[in-house]
Structure 1
Amino acid sequence: MTRAVGILGLGHYVPEKIITNTDMEKIVETSDEWITERTGIKQRHIAAPEEATSDLAYNAAVEALKDAGVDPEELDLVIVGTASSDYIFPSTACLVQARLGAKNAAAFDLAAGCSGFVYSLAVASQMVKSGLYNKILIIGAETLSRIMNWTDRNTCVLFGDGAGAAVVGEVEEGYGVLGIDMGADGNGGKFLLQPAGGSRNPASEETVAAKDHTIHMNGQEVFKFAIQIMGKTAKRALAKANMKPEELDMLFPHQANYRIITSAAKRLKMPMDKVWVNVDKYANTSAASIPIALCEAQKAGALKKGDNIILDGFGAGLTWAAIVLKWSK
């Protein structure tokens, strides 16, 4: 049994608080000009003290379920892609499942860094395609502000908080997911990691003092990796969909850095008016960035039925993933 599988509904949520680049100038030695020139970021949303990743995920999920016209009890599975879960265990997905009242759904978190949402869509689409499940809720959600070193100007200016969600299910034949490419190179894991807090380096006075519970990144190495892999994974996904880059109507890249986004567009020979960019408003929200962009595009009327689109991401691991879809809504 195989079925056409696509996205039935979308939702997103970002915290109310905004920290601009001018605000960042008061926190670390940096400038609006420096941040904008190197990243394209102008501001980021930051979770309130009482908000955790599951709260952001829940709000995005409610909107996605409403958009899809799906009741929580119809869900078979909840997947949350995140690098900043509420707890090591239980999973954030279980917390969201309980709060939604999705009592018939299994639930688990997926750890693929910023590739988390695209990985989740790949997993969910194959489960629905096979007939194992009918409706799956996938969420990319992050509160990266909780694991940032606010004294490190090389990382703290880059990230923000937010969540994006999608309901995945059967769609009209010929629409939905057409091609998937996923990959990883664990040798690059050292370039982007949270060194302490797991079983390798459990919490201690020393790890806290060294700020090893925060994001550590070799920006130069990650940038070089991203510049290469974004184009490669996109082209592989297109080949699996028997599609050429010129047939694409829209590119939804991971919103990490404007220069990386423009490089990916150039490799696919796509004009920037076909590339959804919101890194200026939200900064890098990791697994949440692509679903937030998708939801924004839908609300703006930029997506129409039959559009060929590609989701293209990379992240900690190091991981990468791209998915080609024919939009079905």
Structure 2
Amino acid sequence: MRNHVGIAGMGIYIPENYWTAEDMAKMTGMPLEAFTEKIGVLKKPMPGPNDTTSYMGIMAAKKAIENAGIDPKEIDVVIWDGAQHKDYLNWLAFTKSAYEIGATNAWGFDVESMCGSRIVGLELGKSLILSRDDVNTILLVSGYRNCDMINLNYKTGAFLHDIGAGGSAVVLKKNLGYNEVLASSHVADGSFSEDFVVPVGGSKKWPVTPEDLDKMWFHITCDPNDFKERLGKVTMKNWYGVIDRALEKSSLTRKDIDYLAMVKIKRSAHYEILREMNLREDQSFFLEEYGHVGQNDVIISLVEGLKRGRIKDGDVVLLVSAGGGWTWNACVVKWGKVTE
């Protein structure tokens, strides 16, 4: 059998705490329909007192390890591909994760590509496994609670109001024999790099002052209408571009797609992409009861798709995401037994 990398196990962690669309409508004074229809969120998970960013990733990692049926000591590399808003500033989450799960033989690193990080993690994990004789098993682990940095009174950023909290993890193995990770594709546009940021707490605005605490949330730092117009002009083009390139590199076409694991976006855009891909609604899962949990969205969608019988052996699964700043990402996975 040819060398390949397969997904051996997955796990997700979702906090027990939720904010409903009704809750958020009351908090903001916005119409309920703005949440349920336009933004497309019925409820979103919010962190409890113990739900640090690393804790949520670690809980998901334990589930993924159990799902894969492996001993944590088999893990050669741990890649933290979760949020950069972690338990502490200037801190490695992969070491904490490896320690807590018992991956005593693993080295690793933290990687960041905002909400595209999980697809980047799949690319890096696959590349490491195929390029090194001493790496056979990799754990990707992610926690996310950027909801801490969302201001519900910032109406200009209403598209962010579905951001919640949670974690996910994936176990990758060399020559697993099933659930093969095929090709990925990525594109970036740095013209947006400083248009959408938390403007305090970084080296550009240091030291932090007491007044800064009231600004520690995501802002659009340029003209909001210009920002949305510029982003709208390139987003679908870039998504379709990375989708088509990932499929082409996998020797596939759009007609081969069986399931779309899509990052949480507004309802109308999600269904627009399904129509463009000529997919039915039951060939995806809209995350209206999860909200946007960052890079974890694509794994939550995979888990839900499997649970609901929407993904079966032999299916071509397309993972699609994007990250603020701005990146667009796609990865193809062939679910089920690997064929020559």
Whole-Å separation in 1 of the counterparts to 2:150 and 2:78: 27
Whole-Å separation in 2 of the counterparts to 1:48 and 1:203: 29
Instruction: Read off the aligned partner of 1:134 and give its amino acid letter.
Output: N
Q: After superposition, where does 1:68-107 map in structure 2 within 5 Å?
A: 68-81=68-81, 82-107=83-108
Instruction: Read off the aligned partner of 2:87 and give its amino acid letter.
Output: D
Residue matched to 1:118: 119
Q: Does 1:302 align with 2:302?
A: no
- Per the TM alignment, residue 5 of structure 1 is displaced from its structure 2 partner at its CA by 0.7
**Structure 1 range deviating more: 174-183 or 304-313:** 174-183
SS of residue paired to 1:55: helix
Structure 1 residues 226, 283: closer, same or farther in 2, change over 3 A? farther
Structure 1 residues 86, 4: closer, same or farther in 2, change over 3 A? same
Residue matched to 1:286: 294
Residue matched to 2:275: 266
Whole-Å separation in 2 of the counterparts to 1:242 and 1:230: 18
Whole-Å separation in 1 of the counterparts to 2:248 and 2:114: 25
Match of 2:209 among 192, 205, 208: 205
Whole-Å separation in 2 of the counterparts to 1:324 and 1:298: 16
Could you state the TM-score of these two structures normalised by the residue count of structure 2?
Answer: 0.89
What root-mean-square deviation, in Å, do the aligned CA atoms of Structure 1 and Structure 2 show?
2.2
Contact (CA 8 Å) 1:230, 1:264: kept in 2 or not? Answer: no
Q: After superposition, where does 1:133-282 map in structure 2 within 5 Å?
A: 133-153=135-155, 154-155=157-158, 157-171=161-175, 176-205=180-209, 208-211=212-215, 213-217=216-220, 218=224, 220=228, 221-278=230-287, 280-282=288-290
Instruction: Read off the aligned partner of 1:320 and give its amino acid letter.
Output: W
Contact (CA 8 Å) 1:227, 1:263: kept in 2 or not? Answer: no
Whole-Å separation in 1 of the counterparts to 2:297 and 2:138: 19
Query: Share of identical aligned residues, percent?
Result: 27
Structure 1 residues 175, 162: closer, same or farther in 2, change over 3 A? closer
Structure 1 residues 322, 270: closer, same or farther in 2, change over 3 A? same
Contact (CA 8 Å) 1:3, 1:173: kept in 2 or not? Answer: no
Contact (CA 8 Å) 1:21, 1:31: kept in 2 or not? Answer: no
Contact (CA 8 Å) 1:223, 1:260: kept in 2 or not? Answer: no
Whole-Å separation in 1 of the counterparts to 2:118 and 2:282: 24
Contact (CA 8 Å) 2:79, 2:140: kept in 1 or not? Answer: yes
Instruction: Read off the aligned partner of 1:102 and give its amino acid letter.
Output: A
SS of residue paired to 1:88: coil
Q: Which runs of 5+ in 1 are unaligned?
A: none
SS of residue paired to 1:70: coil
Contact (CA 8 Å) 1:307, 1:327: kept in 2 or not? Answer: yes
- Per the TM alignment, residue 222 of structure 1 is displaced from its structure 2 partner at its CA by 4.2
SS of residue paired to 2:109: strand
Contact (CA 8 Å) 1:7, 1:328: kept in 2 or not? Answer: no
Instruction: Read off the aligned partner of 2:218 and give its amino acid letter.
Output: I
Contact (CA 8 Å) 1:246, 1:270: kept in 2 or not? Answer: no
- Per the TM alignment, residue 233 of structure 1 is displaced from its structure 2 partner at its CA by 0.9
**Structure 1 range deviating more: 52-61 or 289-298:** 289-298
Q: Deviations over 1:148-201 (max 9, x none)?
A: 224324345221111111101124568512221012111111232222222122
Contact (CA 8 Å) 2:320, 2:329: kept in 1 or not? Answer: yes
**Structure 1 range deviating more: 249-258 or 191-200:** 191-200
Structure 1 residues 19, 98: closer, same or farther in 2, change over 3 A? same
Contact (CA 8 Å) 1:5, 1:177: kept in 2 or not? Answer: yes
Contact (CA 8 Å) 2:121, 2:140: kept in 1 or not? Answer: yes
- Per the TM alignment, residue 239 of structure 1 is displaced from its structure 2 partner at its CA by 0.9
